[in-house]
Amino acid sequence: KHDLPIYTIEEISKHTNHQERIWVTFQQGVYDITDFIYEHPGGEQILMAAGSAVDPFWMLYSVHLNPHVLDILEKYRIGNLDPNEENDSISDMSDPYANDPKRHSILKPASIKPFNAESPEQLLVENFITPNEIFYVRNHLPVPDIDASTYELEIEIEGKAKTLCLSLEDLKQFPKYTITATVMCAGNRRSEMTKVKPVKGLNWGAAAVGNATWSGASLREVLEKAGLTDVDLDKYKHIQFEAYDTDATGTAYGASIPIWKAVDRRGDVILAYEMNGVPLPRDHGYPVRVIVPGVVGARNVKWLGKIIVSSEESKSHWQQSDYKGFSPSTDWDTVDYSKSPSIQELPVISAICQPVPNTTVKVENGHIKVKGYAWSGGGQDIVRVDVTCDGGKTWHVARFDHHDPQTHPQHWSWTLWSCELPVAQGDKELEIWAKAVDSSYNTQPESFENIWNLRGVLNNAYHRIKVKVE
C-alpha cells in the first residue's frame, strides 16, 4: 500500500468520466472504481463521488462502513492522497481568496469568491445529521487563516475597563456542552421567490440549511466569567460578535443577538469549537464560532474574535442594512433599513427534497414517495407537515422519520418527514406541495407573491415542485 504513487486532490479531480477513468478517495486512499460502477448495488449514485471523496456519502449511506465493502474498495486502490494536501491552497497570493480551503466537489457553488455553496437537496434528507463536507457554506469574505495556538477571543462589557481574553485552551476548560441544531440561511429557497420578481442575492435552492451537533463552552458561563452580573442584565440589551474575516478596508463581519437569548439557561448559545465531533472545519468558523440555535444563520458568527456586551445592536452592515424583511411594495428607491428589525428567529419552513423537481418518479402500488425537512425558529417544534398532489383538495399528513427529540422550547433541530402520495391512474405530471405547522400553530404562506421582498429573505411559502410520473 505504501509503495503506491501519491496523488494531489487536483489530479484526482480530473478523473470524473470513463475516458479519464473514474477515481475517488476514501480516507488516505485513492481508488480507480471505473470497473466497479456497473456492479455497484447502489447504482449510478456512486458517480456523485467521481473525482472526490466518498467519505461524506458513506456517512449518509452507512451500509458502506462495513468490512465487506472496504474489501471491495481496496481491490481498486491505485495510490495515496498527498499528506500535505490539507494545507495546500491556490498559489496566487495577490488574490484575497488564495488561502481559502479546498471543498468537496459535491457542493454546488452559488458563488466562488466569496465561496457560497449548497449540497444537492436530495442528500439532506438521507440523515438527521448533515456531514461536514456536505453542509452548505455561506461566506461573505475570504476565509481567515487562524492559528489555533495563538487564537484569542476577547470579551468586553461596555463601560468596564477590564476585558477577558481567552485562548482556545482556556475556552476548552469551561464545561463542554453539545447541542444538535439546524443552521439556515435567511436566503434559503430564494430561487423560488426570484421567479415572482428578481431580487438581489445569491440564487439559493432549498439546501442552504443543515443540521449538525455543535460542542463548546456556554456563552452564558463565559459572560459570567467576564464579570457580567444580574444588575448588568437591565443595563445592557445586546451581545455583539465581531469576527476575524475582514473586507479590503479591514471591516470585520459582525452581528448581534438580544442579551436574553445569551443568558437564558434554555437559550443554549454556545461558543463552538467542534462540529459533528471534530474541530470546526475552516469554512464553518475554525477555530471558534457562536451557535445561536433557533436564530438565522447570519447571527451564528464564524471565526469569532470579540464579544461585546452592549446597550446597542451591532453596527455592522449585516445587522443594520441586510437580513431584514420588507413589504412587497418596498423597492431599492424607497427602502429605509432603520424601519425594519434585524431578522433573529426564522419563521416555520419546509421543503421537499425527494423527488428532485422536474425528474421522473416511479409509481409503486399506486403511490409515490416524498421526503423533506421542516423546521421553525425560536426552538418551536414541528407538529405537522401536510402534503398534497391535487392542488390542496386532499392533504396527507406526513410521517416523521426523525422528529426533533428535544423538549420545548429547545427544538433546535429540523424534523425529517416522508409521505406516500396516492397517484391517480393516467396522471403523467404532478405538482406536489408541502407545508409545515409549528407548535405555535404558525404555518407557511401559500405563495411567494405576497411575501416577496427586495432582498429575497424569509422564503417560506408552500414548497411546490413539479415531477413527471411513470
Residues at the contact surface with ligand HEM, assessed by CB under 6 A: 24, 33, 36, 40-42, 45-46, 48-49, 54, 57, 61, 63-64, 66, 69, 72-73
Query: Pick from ligand HEM, ligand MTE, none: which does 53 bind, CB < 5 to 8 A by kind?
Result: none
Cβ nearer to ligand HEM, comparing 72 with 148: 72
Q: What is the dihedral of CA 176, 178, 179, 185, to 10 degrees?
A: 80
Of the listed pieces 87-95, 135-143, 194-202, 416-424, which binds ligand MTE according to CB under 6 A?
Answer: 135-143
Catalytic site includes residue 462: no
Q: Which listed residue (7, 15, 31, 138) is catalytic?
A: 138
Catalytic site includes residue 40: yes
**Nearest residue to ligand HEM, scored by beta-carbon proximity:** 42
Of 7, 31, 253, 414, which lies in the binding site for ligand MTE, with binding defined by CB under 6 A?
A: 253
Q: Is 324 in the site for ligand MTE (CB under 6 A)?
A: no
Catalytic site includes residue 384: no
| Dist CA 415 CA 109 (whole Å) | 26
Q: Which listed residue (244, 323, 373, 462) is catalytic?
A: 323
- Name the minimum Å distance from CB 41 to ligand HEM: 4
| Dist CA 15 CA 76 (whole Å) | 14
Of 16, 52, 105, 139, which lies in the binding site for ligand MTE, with binding defined by CB under 6 A?
A: 139
Catalytic site includes residue 64: yes
Cβ nearer to ligand HEM, comparing 76 with 174: 76
- Number of residues interacting with ligand MTE: please give it, by CB under 6 A: 20
Binding pattern to ligand MTE, positions 369-398, x when CB under 6 A? ------------------------------
| Dist CA 212 CA 39 (whole Å) | 33
Query: Pick from ligand HEM, ligand MTE, none: which does 174 bind, CB < 5 to 8 A by kind?
Result: none
Contact 111, 202 (CB under 8 A): yes
| Dist CA 334 CA 322 (whole Å) | 15
Residue at 50: amino acid letter? A
What is each CA distance from 407 to 134, 146, 383, 398, 417, in whole angstroms? 28, 36, 13, 21, 19
Query: Pick from ligand MTE, ligand HEM, none: which does 397 bind, CB < 5 to 8 A by kind?
Result: none
Of the listed pieces 44-52, 151-159, 294-302, 353-361, which binds ligand MTE according to CB under 6 A?
Answer: 294-302
- Name the minimum Å distance from CB 252 to ligand MTE: 8
Return phi, psi of residue 349, to 5°: -145, 155
Contact 299, 346 (CB under 8 A): no
Q: Is 243 in the site for ligand MTE (CB under 6 A)?
A: yes
Catalytic site includes residue 185: yes
Of 80, 132, 218, 300, which lies in the binding site for ligand MTE, with binding defined by CB under 6 A?
A: 300
Of 104, 238, 284, 464, which lies in the binding site for ligand MTE, with binding defined by CB under 6 A?
A: 284
| Dist CA 255 CA 392 (whole Å) | 40
Residue 23 β-bridge partners: 32
| Dist CA 324 CA 277 (whole Å) | 33
Q: Is 183 in the site for ligand MTE (CB under 6 A)?
A: yes
Residue 400 β-bridge partners: 417
Give 62's contacts (C-beta < 8 A, 6+ positions apart).
none
Q: What angle do CA 457, 431, 326 make, to 5 degrees?
A: 15
Cβ nearer to ligand HEM, comparing 54 with 385: 54
Q: Is 190 in the site for ligand MTE (CB under 6 A)?
A: no
Query: Pick from ligand MTE, ligand HEM, none: which does 241 bind, CB < 5 to 8 A by kind?
Result: none
Q: Which residues contribute to the site for ligand MTE (CB under 6 A)?
A: 135-141, 183, 185, 243, 245, 253, 283-284, 297-298, 300-303
Which residues are catalytic, by number? 40, 64, 138, 185, 323
